Amino acid sequence: MDRRKFLKKSMILGSAFWLPRFPACKEKKSALSEKSRVIVAQDPAVLNKRSVEGDKLLKLLDNAVQTYFDCDHPVDAWRKIVQPGEVIGLKVNCLSGRGSTHRELVEAIAERLRQAGIRESDIIIWDRLNKDLEECGFKIRYKGKGVKCFGNDAVGFAPNLQVFGQAGSLVTRILTNLCDGIINIPLLRDHSIAGVSIALKNLFGAIHNPNKYHLNKGDPYIADVNSFPVIRKKVRFTIVDAIEAQYHGGPSFMPQWRWKFGGLLVGYDRVAIDYTGWRIIEEKRKEKGLPALKEEDREPKYIFTAGDADHQLGEANPLKIETIKI
């Protein structure tokens, strides 16, 4: 460790020691706590016609995260995800045009991160390309005191090839070099090839060659990419933007197949989240008279692969997923 790193770490540790203490979160002892927990939080009022009600969304987010960690205070819950002094990336999804990640949700998350001790300038909103972020309504910002925002194209990819199973990719420097941890903020939507595109597939935005991994409906590639050590290690939490969701015709924005879900899916286990999100999409498809994804030969088998013994990314067995609806 050089002098600069030593000083930086010392300052971080020192500041952490003097942080004000929030009430500790309750420890849940029930058998249910052994399961992977997924919070499905809904409030139809977060979406008023086409505009998002920021205060209601923040409340919904707090409820979801506090419920997940069983905490009375939202900041206390966030402190279980991040530590003061860290650099945190917010991986959004800007590939669906008007159907992309809502800025209001990203702002709400950034606000809570700040309150949990993350400096504004240590928050990086990112996706594949600057162009995509701009089209999604985000403003590109590389420096200064505010929240940063830029795409992989701004900083490039780390030179070491990451390899797992059938996948081999370069990973964005945002993830490898710049961030200590990542909050994954995917969408809840149908995908014409992979079946659904939710938490696991959103991490395709971290690699240089996602176009190579749609073969065989993304199986096992999506699970393999998520198993790259640097991705497995750094993705801290997932908050699915399901304010509006899409049950068919994805990933492109297709207004005729979208519905107001008015909610968020929250949790650590992105396999369990994907399984839960997939079932929500299937229910909606059934309600709309569409065939199950399996009948269209695009059942998202990669979710089960992600949960298998080779990958161990999470839980795809519904009996081992605790879904809490609020």
Partner 1 sequence: MNQQDKYRIDLPPGKAPHTMGRRSFLKIASSTCLLIGTPVLNWSNRSALFAMSPDDKRFVREARFYEKLQHSQVRCKLCPRKCVIDDHERGYCGVRENQDGTYYTLVYSRPCTFHVDPIEKKPLFHFLPGTTAFSIATAGCNLNCKFCQNWQISQVTPEQVDSYYLPPKKTATMAKDYNSKSIAYTYSEPTIFFEYMYDTAVEGKKQGVNSVVITAGFMEKDPVKDLCKVVDAIKVDLKAFTEDYYQKVVRGNLKPVLETMETIRNQGTWLEIVYLVVPTLNDGEKEIRELARWTMANLGPDVPIHFTRFYPQYLLKNLPPTPVSTLEKCKAIADAEGLRYVYIGNVPGHPAENTYCPKCGKILVERTGFLIKRMEITDGRCPYCKTAIPGVWRI
65: enclosing H helix or E strand: helix 54-69
Contact (Cβ atoms closer than 8 angstroms) between residue 208 and residue 154: no
- To partner 1, the closest distance from the beta carbon of 265 in angstroms equals 23
Q: Is residue 221 within 8 Å of 300, Cβ to Cβ?
A: no
Bridge partners of residue 235, in order along the sequence: 182
* Least distance from partner 1 to the Cβ atom of residue 157, Å: 5
Question: What are the two backbone dihedrals, phi and then psi, of residue 68, each rounded to the nearest 5 degrees?
Answer: -60, -45
- At residue 169, the 3 state secondary structure works out as strand
Cα distances (Å, whole numbers) of residue 18 to 14, 76, 113, 116, 232: 7, 15, 18, 14, 31
The answer to whether the Cα torsion of 100, 172, 238, 297 is positive or negative is: positive
CB of 252 to partner 1, least distance (A): 4
Could you give the CA distance from residue 102 to residue 82 in angstroms, rounded to a whole number?
A: 22
Fill in the per-residue mask, 56 to 95: x = in contact with partner 1 (CB under 8 A), - = not in contact. ---------------------------------------x
Query: Does residue number 192 form part of the binding site for partner 1 (CB under 8 A)?
Result: yes
Q: Which CB, 68 or 126, lies closer to partner 1?
A: 126
Report the residue number, 212 or 325, with the smaller CB distance to partner 1.
Answer: 212
Nearer to partner 1, 53 or 296 (CB): 296
**CB closer to partner 1, 158 vs 230:** 158
Task: Rule CB under 8 A: say whether 13 interacts with partner 1.
Answer: no
Q: Taking the complex as a whole, how short is the minimal distance between the CB of residue 300 and partner 1, in angstroms?
A: 16
- Would you call 36 helix, strand, or coil by DSSP? strand
How big is the site for partner 1, counted in residues (CB under 8 A)?
A: 29
Is position 255 an interface residue for partner 1 (rule: CB under 8 A)? no
- For partner 1, the closer of residues 139 and 212 by Cβ is 212
Does residue 208 touch partner 1 according to CB under 8 A? Answer: yes
Between the alpha carbon of residue 205 and those of residues 102, 126, 265, the distances in Å are 17, 9, 20
- Give the one residue of 98, 163, 287, 294 binding partner 1; rule: CB under 8 A: 163
Strands (E), 87-151: 88-91, 123-127, 148-151
Nearest to 38 by CA among 311, 306, 275: 275
Q: What six digits make up the tokens of 122?
A: 């240590």
Q: How far is CA 244 from the centre of its chain?
A: 16
Region from 204-212, 228-236, 277-285, 289-297 binding partner 1, contact rule CB under 8 A: 204-212
Confirm if 170 and 116 have CB atoms less than 8 A apart.
no
The DSSP element (H or E) to which 270 belongs, if any, is helix 270-287
Subset of 97-156 contacting partner 1 (CB under 8 A): 97, 129, 131, 152-154, 156
Nearer to partner 1, 67 or 192 (CB): 192
214 contacts partner 1 (rule: CB under 8 A):
yes
For the CB of residue 161, give the shortest distance to partner 1 in the complex, in Å. 8
Of the candidate spans 9-17, 111-119, 157-165, 263-271, the one that interacts with partner 1 by CB under 8 A turns out to be: 157-165
With binding defined as CB under 8 A, does residue 30 bind partner 1?
Answer: no
Instruction: Kindly list the residues in this chain that would bind partner 1 in the complex (CB under 8 A).
Output: 95, 97, 129, 131, 152-154, 156-159, 161, 163, 168, 170, 173, 192, 208-209, 211-212, 214-215, 249-254
